[in-house]
Amino acid sequence: MRADGVGQDARFGGIVDAELDSKGALYISEIKRDKTGGYYYSGYAVRSVGRDGTVKTLYADPFDEQRGASPSLYAATLAIDKRDQLFVTSLSQTHLLGKDGTATALPFGQGGQRIVTSAAGVSYRITYATISRIEADGSATVLAGAETVVTPAAGSDVAAPVDGPGSSARFKFIQPETVVLDPAGNLYLADSTMIRKVTPQGLVSTLAGTTDGSAARDGAGSGARFINPHSMAYQDGQLLVIDKDTLRRVSLDGVVTTTATSLPTARVLRADGQGTLFVIFPEHVATLGADGKLTVLAGKPNLSETSVDGIGAAARLRLPQYLTADPSGNLYAIEQQTVTYRSSGPAFN
């Protein structure tokens, strides 16, 4: 049951995302939790968490109490742009949320899954089939792709994505959570079992892989194969991809190599832009060195069913979902029902 309060007096439903603004203010989104402890997607709330642990609900879906009747059928994701504007995106709608809790629906249409912002401050709306640029007035202009069904290639029952500029390009199935940007503003994403690139001008190209996801294979361009690329980070001029349970490197000219690092339960990769790579597992957070060695930062693998405060391996994290950091370098692990403060190292973007 959701309840505002301070510290352990506050209650969360199911935390699904978190973001920090440039001043270090923390915001979380969560889905509703029913009385039996399960989850159902009948609405979401956006809440602020103060440095003293004070939790305040800024916005709750107006259909929150009507199980199954909400237009927000999936949990909301958050994004904060360079102007500290807070975007809340669900399957059915994107809102611009004021810090006073005022929600303004944006004319993005349905199907929004994620919003990302480049280093230059350009924000993009990601769906399963399109990349759109968010304009200054809040409207969205389709940069690449189209909300149409891809015609299967002759003699094949597999839809064939198409490289090219703007609306002539086609995506098979973008995985929004994999989208990353390089310093030049190019977007990289996993499209089914391919890694694809989208320039700021909307030119789409397939960097590596094909629609054949039957087995992993190293190689260049279409000679490489992926099975299930589900998380990605940009670091030191290359892409790092968790493909099923293995870490793979993809150069920006499309050469794929498999590392010796196995990440069987890893959920998320985050790079800080300073050479540190954070890896989130169900019960612990680790850093990955250049030599492929994992170093536990907090929590302990395959051990805890509850959260425990502490230092290093003495701490316990229960199902951490996301990492985020403030400008001072404090690291926050966002667990399923807990916002946990961890002073754990350098900040990351």
More confident of the two residues 4 and 249: 249
Q: Do 277 and 252 lie in a common domain?
A: no
Q: Do 136 and 51 lie in a common domain?
A: no
Q: Do 113 and 69 lie in a common domain?
A: no
pLDDT at 229: 93
- Domain end: 264, 282, 308, which one? 264
Q: Do 185 and 226 lie in a common domain?
A: yes
User: Is 142 part of a structural domain of the chain?
Assistant: yes
Q: Do 112 and 18 lie in a common domain?
A: no
- Domain end: 264, 295, 323, which one? 264
Q: Do 316 and 255 lie in a common domain?
A: no
Q: Do 22 and 167 lie in a common domain?
A: no
pLDDT at 175: 85
User: Is 98 part of a structural domain of the chain?
Assistant: no
Q: What's the chain look like in SS3?
A: CCECEEHHHCECCEEEEEEECCCCCEEEEEEEECCCCCEEEEEEEEEEECCCCEEEEEEECCCCCCCCCCCCCCCCEEEECCCCCEEEECCCCEEEECCCCCEEECCCCCCCCEEEECCCCCEEEECCCEEEEECCCCCEEEEEECCCCCCECCCCCCECCECEEHHHCECCCECHHHCEECCCCCEEEEECCEEEEECCCCEEEEEEECCCCCCCECEEHHHCECCCEEEEEEECCEEEEEECCEEEEEECCCEEEEEEEECCCCCEEEECCCCCEEEECCCEEEEECCCCCEEEEEECCCCCCCCECCCHHHCECCCEEEEEECCCCCEEEEECCCEEEECCCCCCC
Q: Do 330 and 192 lie in a common domain?
A: no
Length of the chain: 349
Show Cβ contacts of residue 58 under 8 Å, excluding neighbours closer than 6 positions: 27, 45, 46, 47, 48, 97, 99, 100, 101
- Domain end: 216, 246, 264, which one? 264
Q: Are 243 and 227 in contact (CB under 8 A)?
A: yes
Domain residues for the domain of 317 are 272-348
What is the pTM assigned to this prediction? 0.65
Beta-ladder partners of 332? 324, 341
Mean pLDDT within 110-114: 59
Percent of the chain having pLDDT more than 70?
63
Q: Do 193 and 280 lie in a common domain?
A: no
Q: For tokens 């699904």, what's the residue? A: 16
Beta-ladder partners of 170? 162
Number of domains into which the chain is organized: 3
CATH number at residue 118: 2.120.10.30
Mean pLDDT within 19-38: 64
Mean pLDDT within 109-124: 74
Q: Do 196 and 117 lie in a common domain?
A: yes
pLDDT tens-digit readout, 170-221: 999 898 878 889 999 999 999 999 999 999 999 999 999 998 888 899 999 9
More confident of the two residues 327 and 150: 327
Mean pLDDT within 100-118: 71
> Average pLDDT, whole number, for the chain?
75
pLDDT at 304: 44
Q: Do 115 and 191 lie in a common domain?
A: yes
